[in-house]
Amino acid sequence: MSGHNVWTHKGTFLLAAVGSAVGLGNLWRFPYLTGENGGGAFILIYALTIFAVGIPILIAETMLGRTSRRSPIMGMRHLIKTHKTSRAWESIGWLGAASAFLILSFYSVIAGWALHYTWLMLTGSLVGADAQTISDGFNALLASPGLMTLYHTLFIAASALIVGMGIHKGIESGLRIMMPALFVILIVVLIYGIINGDVGAAASFLFTFNISDLSLEGWLQAMGQSFFTLSLGMGAIMAYGAYMSSEASLTRTAIAVAFVDTAVAMVAGLAIFSLVFGAGLETGQGPGLMFVTLPLAFAEMPFGALVGGVFFILVLGAAISSSISLIEPVAAFLVERFDMTRPQAVTIMVVAAWAMGLLTVLSFNVWAEGTIFHSLFGRSAFEFIELLTNIFMPLGGLMIALFAGWALTQSEVIKELGTNATWFKIWRFLVRFVGPAAVSFVFLRTIPQVEGYLIPTLGALIIVAAFAIGQRLRQPKTSS
Ligand code: PHE
């Protein structure tokens, strides 16, 4: 498609990619996973994966978007044609669209909880409440499909509105207001944590590396988390990359995104654990860390209601700047492929993801047990969807790495990357070998843990991938 849109400013891609990367993954998932997995060792694996695997794949995914200047599925089609490689690679686009749709469905439900807590905090409802009251409150929220559906609807509608207004008036302007505000709030919460909490205990929890603390399961979660937090392998970054200025540096931008994303996770971890330790609470609370433990810490501290309210606004803002990046790749595809208007395309994607989200809502109450998901997969619908995305994202990342490193004409790649030969070789070694090896390791360890029909599903996906690679290897070598 000629005349494809480009962001208004050279730096907007960076802003948009940071907006996508920084989200519930940093503020909710990272702290609770770190808490469950004993701290520093988990962070070490997480950071290593980000740098050795995440950044190279981030560069690759952005590059695919920018050279094709199309939405992920159409972009893959275009690259397959121009680089004369196997059509099987188109599955990268489809897998991405499926992951975006699945993630959006549950992401919106969880972000909806933050909406509830923003309200509770700002109205002072939790001031002075004790542990029992606060945890009963959270359980009451989970037990109410109506309330959860209401918040889920509000959140997803707000995201749809932004994307529906277009990449300039909606996404770009929205991010330009939201992102600076989020950084200010994060710093305020950190300072509050330092003053009222125990930052020393938090720092030693986060930065004491004792590798023997880390279970194998924790190791896998750390690697999965690094994909999730960088928004990798599902087209969000590719879709934003399609609008990236040709002048911006791919490598420098990708490194900056990973750096900011990691810094936000660390600062959030430091602030949250300062409050948790300061209030004498436990770190290993799981997903309830943000919704039970943290409100409890705020309940006892001076100005806790106000700062807690501001904190949950931060969570909401970070979540919405990520959820818009989940809508964009699919919406852009529908616009390009079927000539829909943007509002039509956004509506289709969002209504479908909203309906799918009801499965997550019900997984916490009416369908908490005894459903078809429990009998087939041994878990609730929500847990099943989350598991699927935990498989799809690294798989997408793996295929992007292989596609960029092996299938594309390498003389074109080096031109697009615009680096010198040494950096190019380092990058290519990482996407050709290190990334695929790391991801395969995660998969091999995950497979024995999944039961039932999942293994055939996985098998099918792996066959598709193998087919794609085989196709490429049968072809005469282009330049390399
Ligand atoms: N990176 C986001 C977060 O950390 C989640 C996300 C994943 C967003 C994939 C878009 C695509 O919350």
The whole-angstrom separation of Cα 77 and Cα 62 is: 16
CB of 25 closer than 6 A to ligand 1? yes
Domain-embedded: residue 220: yes
Q: Would 378 be classed as within a structural domain?
A: yes
Q: Is 82 a residue whose pLDDT tops 80?
A: yes
The pLDDT of residue 3: 46
- pLDDT, one tens digit per residue, over 223-239 is 888 899 999 999 999 99
Domain that holds residue 424: 12-473
Nearest Cα residue to 49 out of 188, 260, 227, 237:
227
Cβ contacts of 145 within 8 Å, gap of 6 or more: 361, 362, 365, 366
- CB of residue 276 inside a 6 A radius of ligand 1: no
Residue 191 lies in a domain: yes
Query: How many structural domains comprise the chain?
Result: 1
CB 58 within 8 A of CB 232: yes
In the block, residue with structure tokens 């409890």: 296
Q: Where are the alpha helices (DSSP H) in 166-292?
A: 173-196, 199-207, 216-229, 236-241, 250-278
Residue 228 Cβ inside 6 Å of ligand 1? The answer reads yes
Q: Is 26's C-beta closer than 6 angstroms to any atom of ligand 1?
A: yes
Query: Residue 10 Cα, ligand 1 centroid: separation in angstroms?
Result: 23
User: What pLDDT shows up at residue 437?
Assistant: 87
Q: Is 214 in the pocket of ligand 1 (CB under 6 A)?
A: no
Report pLDDT digits (tens) over 23-61: 999 999 999 888 888 888 899 989 999 999 999 999 999
* pLDDT-derived band at 445, boundaries 50, 70, 90: low
Work out the number of other CB atoms within 10 angstroms of the CB of residue 420: 9
* Cα 224 to ligand 1 centre (Å): 12
| Ligand 1, atom 4: closest residue by C-alpha | 25
Using the mean position of ligand 1's atoms as its centre, give its distance from the Cα of residue 281 in Å. 28
Among 20, 221, 237, the mutation site with the greatest number of ligand 1 atoms within 8 A of its Cβ is 20
**Closest among 88, 409, 26 to 225, alpha carbons compared:** 26
CATH number at residue 257: 1.20.1740.10
pLDDT at residue 477 above 60? no
Q: What integer pLDDT is reported at residue 2 of this predicted model?
A: 39
C-alpha count within 13 angstroms, C-beta hemisphere, residue 201: 17
**99, two tokens:** 């992951």
* Assigned domain for 217 exists: yes
Residue 4 belongs to a domain: no
Query: 235 in a domain, yes or no?
Result: yes
CB 30 within 8 A of CB 265: yes
Q: Is 53 in the pocket of ligand 1 (CB under 6 A)?
A: no
- Tokens 């279970």, residue located: 215
Ligand 1 proximity of 21 Cβ (cutoff 6 Å) = yes
Residue 210 pLDDT level (bands cut at 50, 70, 90)? confident
User: What residue's CA is closest to ligand 1, atom 11?
Assistant: 231
pLDDT computed for residue 287 by the predictor = 83
Q: What's the mean per-residue pLDDT of the chain? A: 90
The CA 244 to ligand 1 mean position distance, Å, reads 19
* Structural domain contains residue 1: no
Q: Pocket of ligand 1, candidates 322, 388, 393, 395: which has the most ligand atoms within 8 Å of its Cβ, to mutate? A: 322
Q: How far is the CA of 254 from the centre of ligand 1 (A)?
A: 15
| pLDDT on residue 458 | 65
pLDDT in tens, 278-300: 999 988 888 889 999 999 999 98
221 in ligand 1 pocket by Cβ < 6 Å? no
- Cα 394 from Cα 226, distance rounded (Å): 10
Residue 478 lies in a domain: no
